Structure 1
Amino acid sequence: MTQPDVSVIIGAYEAMPYLIECLESVEAQTIGPERVEVIAVDDGSTDGTGEYLEEFADRAPMPVTVVRQENSGGPSGPRNVGLGKAAGRYVFFLDADDRLGTEALERMVAMADRAGTDVVLGRVEGVNRTAPKSMWGKTLERTDVFSSNIKFTLSAQKLFRRELLTRNGMRFDESLFTGEDALFTMEAYLRADGVSVISDYTCYYLVGRDDGKHVTKSGSYTLRFDSARALMHLIAEHVPAGGRRDQLMVRPFLVTLLPQFGPKYLKDSEEVRRHKFELAKPLMDDYWTEGVARRLKVHERLRLHLVAEQRPDLLPDVIEFVRAKKQAAALLEKRGRRLYLAYPHFRDRAAGIPDTVYLAEPREARGFPGYREGGVDSFVRRAARKARRMLTSSKRVTPGGTAAAA
């Protein structure tokens, strides 16, 4: 048998009736059944998922392998089992609740072959749930994690060159019960020889289940800290300290850590609040930098600054203010080139929070009446240009060959 172009790996647990449309979308692929294999792993379902997969295998036009196993407790185990059996040049991880656009596999494989890239992201659309949006501005034949917004989509539903995964021994971390796909996908981005983005066709439909089971419910807030810690460690392992690392660290700080200090924090017991600060401390000590802080909005930076400084006494006021969707008063200084947003504790001597925490970066400050983009850096640049002009002028040479007086 010739090698398939793509192995579609489906991990399934209690997936009925969503599995029906999922498999119909695989069957309808325009790539051609001879170019595809399906490896479906039933993770101990009791709702007929396993039986339906076997029925599909009997009638499907492409080869289908069904594995039935005891429940593993998370999506990593089934994906790893599927990966171990995959023979395709590429693999695609399809969740059993979701479905593919009809041309998805054909377009993604063609893109990877044409561009020579190791990972392809196909546009994702939410059905009864939200989907990531910021990375779909335009189709990119070749990009990377530093030159695009792909760090904000770390789910596993991408096309991966299998050789990249086998060469680096990549597998999903079965010790994580949330964020395991973020770890896998970020590592793939960092190791990949190029990433492609398909924005002009919806390749993947992310389906919201009526029973809410698509959302990770198991365990507690400690799992989120486990996930943030694992992703931060991975980034630090692969990227030296500096601007590029800071750029990637925005993702775990903003998406995983910050929500633990959002509205739900106000409902936490004192014991849980104390524990969250304890769990956050080593992460803030190791990875919270000025470079990360500057990439955040003021209210995001302020909350994480208070966590870094271990100031649980000041945090609730800020969270309440943000939750109420209040607009912080804007204070313009330096002839309109500096804009401070006066969230709680601004210039409160007792709180002792530096003004720089409240200083809006240009992308947030734009649109405020009276703000003039430029700031301190522009003053420095203008002064440097003036100094260079004066230096050049002082070295002018007269026609007689002597230096002219400035």
Structure 2
Amino acid sequence: MLHAFASLLALISLCETAIIINPDGPLGRKFEGIGAISGGGATSKLLANYKQQQLNEILDYLFKPGYGASLTQLKVEIGGDSQSTEGTEASHMHTATDKDCTRGYESWLIQKAKEINPNIEIHGLPWAFPGWLGDNPYERPERTADYIVQWVKCMKGTFRVQVDYIGIWNEKPYSVDYIKVLRRALNKAGHKHVKIIVADGNWEIAKDIQKDAELREAIHAIGAHYPGTWSSNLAQSLNLNLWASEDYSTYNDDVGSGCWARILNQNYVNGMMTSTIAWNLVASYFDKLPFPKCSLMTADEPWTGHYTVNGPVWVTAHTTQFTQPGWTYLKHGTGVGHFPDGGSYVSLVSPDKTQLTLVVETMVSESVTLSLVSTRCIPSYKAFASIQLNWNNTLRSRRQDTEIDIFLVTDEYII
């Protein structure tokens, strides 16, 4: 990852491949951030049992800006009193008349994340609904919409937290009528700012959006799960925000870290997705449960205080520590693309075009040489020093008049 100041026209060669980078040309889509999911379900169960010192360290590695993963989004399960993968999360309304905003630990985690980074964006998504809403929550859409609105009110009224995004129903069929009812209910309750993400499944809803102006107006983005870095042609043509609203779900070892790096870059290179959210945030559940350690980091031993800061944290940092939501991707072919022999690169510029970030991933085990030739900028070497990893790479530069050459030689399996 290279970070440079001032307008840049650069030539990069990777494995003898040349790419032009030009942030002064046409721009691509606006970057909306990287997040992770707590829930789906009970994935953060053990976290609150850590002693304060270790808990603070773990949360800093996840949420503190400029420190670890520096996540810009936190997505949580709206508990539904039903088993939803690793366990069950409690609903804020066991019955229609039983409302308790303090149930569960997601609100606690949201508060902690907000204390560390007040600008982090908060998502809510139900994986299940309590029984009183029936087997099909779409049969009485007004009642289900009010149930979701009550959760948004809980966050605002009890915890002083503004919810930014709401989903429909995790990996279940969607209802166009319900989405419209939910939009109206949020607006009526004074939550017009809460944006709806649909439909946390695949890209099929694009067909309905294409022919329904009210539906299009009701939503902020189409969010797909595990899209394999690709979105549909129709979804791309709608000029809507496209998200990987759940992705990754891979062991947090070296291989999983490489997969996460590929996902973060290629979700935009291939699919024009401007936000990617990992399942899951932290493996704070017992190792014998399904999908152990499929997380950015591991914290499953509160009784010893032990936790592990795994590679996906630092992979995330390569983007989040050197960009902000609101930066813009460069166009494909002038800063975004594939290398012929595998791997990809993305470039993003700040709104005032005074900063440029380039992120490269190769998914190869052998050493790689990357050279950057710039005629109009001086790179910031601090960008390399701020990532605390096994940084055994070689960095050298040569300056001739106004031209600066930078050569970076990476070792094997280096983030």
Give the alignment's TM-score, normalised by structure 2: 0.28
Which one has the largest radius of gyration? 1
Greater per-residue helix proportion: 1
Greater per-residue strand proportion: 2
